[in-house]
Chains A and B, each alone.
Chain A
């Protein structure tokens, strides 16, 4: 009997949040989906059905094609660099160095800032006519950083060149600076979680340090890498504030991303239908990363 009333109470307790999440999260997602299929293109709501026209127009749109390219390039470079740098720093810090906590704090500190602050700071640092670049100019280098409109290794597909926009690299540097502390912390926890006996046993068997890492430690860190990838992936797919503060869409849209385009379409051009369509595509692309993660997590539980 007692178990039964506990059950009722627990349901009563979570009911309000289920209702609120139902309305304010899932209700509004459905609402956005509905708007994305409508003709609402001005300040006056217009719910006549447009079908998938908004989506089709987007994929034909030069700017959206550039957005997709930028998102892919940014995500790959960003996750790769964050995972690599985090792992490298974690291994270095794990060598029982003196003042370990100082180093840890130094690397973790950028995480306390918001992306907007990071964007402004790095905008100053990488501005080609100020800051560090004045020194580089003295020795004959004048990097253009995020001002560049060049696309490296460009292969024309449709209306855009598919390749690596140089300006994206500058933004990746800022983003990595901000997020490396996080992956460092994850990897350090992972390294500390590997039992000392395991390493000792391997050393006893005559494994070299390199072999130890390759055969024992890196495989043990694999689940951490998975978590880092998934957490960083949803940050990078949704990224807005860093780019908004640093470059905006950039000339020729070399640093434009769907979130920026969505903001401008909806709140500048009052084209609510297309804005909602971009938002839905954004949501789906994040879901592609998050849902498998949730499924795996559930199975492990």
Chain B
């Protein structure tokens, strides 16, 4: 009998676990059901999560009846979140709305996979076509349909520099890459690392190369390069590769051991003079209590003045969501002036709308907002806007090898292979 008693216990345990499983199933179903919005992003770091909370508070204020759930997955650049998202989308369990970079990450990824619903009616209802720049709307549109609402803008082609180092050595921000080389030589002779780089994760190197490419090609042809309309063995690309090689002679030796923050820190410490980094570096400096305009300055990367490399976070409406109307209510708040002005000052980015309340933003951001209005916009490759992920990964691989081997021919050859899937 004793033995059977033990068996019964197992049976009860089994049934218990099954019941528990089905319980959790029904609750996760409920998250997509009536009255609840599941907000999927990778904003968990300081600044990011504060911005997200401010946005969610704004929404609760306007729609107290709709419950909103933060389903953020930690991991820099969305490396973990993107894998989770892919599994959920493929399994037919999409979050109500999710963070995705405008450009090819959205268009060649989810829109091409037929997983997104167009939002044209939402844009008309809110007259968003008048407040979002056309270049930005193009980054979330395909075949006349608009698929997402941009919430923030980051700039890719910025050089941050240490003001003290520049002043002590009588240096002005260089206007083109040859000017950069002159400045770099001068700094090097003084024992200061001219350009800080932290490319443990490779993409910071890709950002440097991308800045040089854009300077040599100009905004329009730079875009054509990633559409496959201009071949990778174009002489301007070769010239860029040669310039990239020269620039690499002026970076810190231990770059491959450092992450991007470590590179930015070199500039903060005055050990290095400049750092090409997106404006999340501004958020980093702020968190280190450095004063914009006093301790550190910034300028558009040489030769790209008047151009603005855009990294934009957007939110769309996946197909198969149970309460699309409520999700649209959320997207309306996300795209509203109030929503964007609640979110962006905390996150350190600038609003995607052109009619922001300037008084809410710091010195760096107000300058960037002005630049954003007057500039020609281009998508960033390093952050997945200019080309599909497969291409970005392969270009990163090519750059990684080039940084040590510095063989231009081989580099051009691998770049050609990287974009071969575009046609």
Contacts and interface: CB of A to CB of B under 8 A. Distances in A.
Interface stretch (A173-181, A186-194, A243-251): A243-251
Given A43-B109, A249-B202, A269 B254 contact: no
B193 to A, nearest CB: 10
A247 B112 contact: no
B389 to A, nearest CB: 5
Interface stretch (B119-127, B237-245, B310-318, B401-409): B401-409
B416 interface: no
Given A149-B404, A249-B400, A269 B257 contact: no
A251 B403 contact: yes
A42 B257 contact: no
Contact of B403 (A144, A252, A269): A252
Contacts of A252: 400-401, 403-405
A44 B403 contact: no
B35 to A, nearest CB: 30
B53 interface: no
Contacts of A149: 256, 404
Interface string A261-284: 000111111110000000000000
28 contacts: A42-B109, A42-B113, A42-B388, A43-B86, A43-B90, A43-B113, A44-B112, A44-B113, A63-B401, A127-B254, A144-B253, A144-B254, A146-B257, A147-B256, A247-B200, A248-B201, A250-B256, A251-B199, A251-B404, A252-B405, A253-B400, A265-B393, A267-B79, A267-B82, A268-B79, A269-B392, A270-B389, A270-B390
B83 interface: yes
Most buried by A among B89, B110, B201, B254: B254
A183 interface: no
B337 interface: no
Given A63-B397, A248-B201, A268-B389, A129 B254 contact: yes
B390 A42 contact: yes
B79 A128 contact: no
B394 interface: yes
A62 B401 contact: yes
Of the candidates B112, B393, B394, the one having the most CB atoms from chain A within 10 angstroms of its own CB is: B393
A42 B83 CA distance: 12
Contacts of A41: 390, 421
A51 interface: no
Interface in A138-155: 144, 146-147, 149
Interface string B366-401: 000000000000000000000011101110010011
Nearest to A45: B90
A268 B382 CA distance: 12
A148 B286 CA distance: 33
B378 to A, nearest CB: 23
A123 interface: yes
Contacts of B392: 269
Interface string B251-263: 0111111000000
Contacts of A270: 86, 109, 389-390
B257 A123 contact: yes
Binding site secondary structure of chain A: loop
Contacts of B86: 43, 267, 270
Contacts of A63: 397, 401
B244 to A, nearest CB: 14
Given A42-B388, A43-B109, A248-B201, A267 B254 contact: no
A132 B143 CA distance: 59
B400 A251 contact: yes
Contact of A247 (B257, B390, B403): B257
Interface residues of B, number: 33
Contacts of A264: 393
Contacts of B400: 249, 251-253
Contacts of B256: 147, 149, 247, 250-251
Nearest to B114: A44
A43 B200 contact: no
Given A43-B89, A268-B82, 14 more contacts: A42-B113, A42-B390, A62-B401, A128-B253, A144-B253, A147-B257, A248-B202, A249-B202, A252-B400, A252-B404, A266-B83, A268-B79, A269-B392, A270-B390
A161 B109 CA distance: 37
Interface string B200-244: 111000000000000000000000000000000000000000000
Contacts of A146: 257
A42, A251, A253 pick with most chain B CB within 10 angstroms:
A251
Interface in B336-356: none
Contacts of A247: 200, 256-257
Interface in A43-86: 43-45, 62-63
Which of A62, A250, A266, A269 has the most chain B CB atoms inside 10 A of its CB?
Answer: A269
A268 B253 CA distance: 27
B385 to A, nearest CB: 15
A147 B404 contact: no
Contacts of A44: 112-113
A269 B89 contact: no
A268 B392 CA distance: 9
B258 to A, nearest CB: 8
Interface string B264-277: 00000000000000
A241 B393 CA distance: 20
Interface in B168-221: 199-202
Contact of A268 (B109, B393, B401, B403): B393
